[in-house]
């Protein structure tokens, strides 16, 4: 059975941990849609369009991956795509608690959509978009934590202190 999946997130900015999950998810599913959430409640560094561009650049070599945007309920967007699975990454126990609650709510709203949890590669298990932005803003070296195209954009957006 061919399975379409959705990997939703804010991706502000995309990290190598995100790319790792996308690459691995592309091997598990017939098609994987990376969905950038247009969350008006957050104050992102990059626009939705910029995040889509960065993800498209970072995943260009993956033929069964596309990038889209959404707002509203993720399960409604997943249904509109015909996705029967949602891919989520878990770095630590603290992620699991939040993700587990979200998966249970999504199951209540859309019992036909399964949540699949993957752990990022060990070398990315501590990496988050928030941490990348913070370390970079203080002049820390984030090479190897984000794709080269993202590092270039960060340098243009957030000059090192």
Q: Which residues are catalytic?
A: 18, 42, 91, 129
Residue 105 clears pLDDT 90, i.e. is over it: yes
Phi and psi at residue 27, in whole multiples of 5°? Answer: -85, -20
Reading phi first (left if > 0) and then psi (alpha if -120 to 50, else beta), residue 20 is in: alpha
pLDDT digits (tens, 9 = 90+) for 46-91: 999 999 999 999 999 999 999 999 999 999 999 999 999 999 999 8
Question: In this predicted structure, what is the pLDDT of residue 161?
Answer: 47
CA separation for the pair 160, 12 (Å, rounded): 18
> Which residues make Cβ contacts (< 8 Å) with residue 100, sequence separation at least 6?
none
Tokens representing 56 are 């498209």
**Beta-carbon count within 10 A of 155 CB:** 11
Question: In this predicted structure, what is the pLDDT of residue 159?
Answer: 58
Residue 160 clears pLDDT 80, i.e. is over it: no
- Looking at the whole model, is its pTM more than 0.75? yes
Residue 20 host element (H or E): helix 16-28
Question: In this predicted structure, what is the pLDDT of residue 158?
Answer: 64
Terminal-to-terminal C-alpha distance of the chain: 52
pLDDT digits (tens, 9 = 90+) for 55-64: 999 999 999 9
Looking up residue 34, the CATH number of its domain turns out to be 3.40.50.620
- How large is the average pLDDT for residues 102-112? 96
Q: Domain of 13?
A: 4-157
Total domains, the chain:
1
Question: In this predicted structure, what is the pLDDT of residue 40?
Answer: 74
Question: In this predicted structure, what is the pLDDT of residue 136?
Answer: 93
pLDDT digits (tens, 9 = 90+) for 143-153: 999 999 999 99
């Amino acid at each position: 059975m061919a399975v379409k999946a959705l990997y939703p997130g804010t991706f502000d900015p995309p990290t190598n941990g995100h790319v790792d999950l996308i690459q691995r998810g592309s091997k598990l599913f017939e098609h994987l849609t990376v969905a950038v959430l247009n969350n008006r409640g957050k104050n992102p560094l990059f626009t939705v369009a910029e995040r889509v561009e960065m993800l498209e650049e970072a995943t260009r070599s993956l033929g069964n991956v596309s990038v889209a945007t959404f707002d509203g309920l993720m399960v409604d967007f997943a249904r509109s795509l015909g996705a029967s699975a949602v891919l989520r990454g878990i770095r630590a126990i603290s992620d699991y608690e939040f993700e587990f609650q979200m998966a249970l709510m999504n199951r209540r709203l859309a019992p036909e959509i399964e949540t699949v949890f993957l752990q990022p590669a060990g070398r990315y298990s501590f990496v988050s978009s928030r941490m990348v932005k913070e370390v970079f803003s203080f002049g820390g070296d984030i090479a190897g934590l984000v794709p080269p195209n993202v590092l270039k954009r960060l340098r243009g957006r957030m000059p090192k202190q």
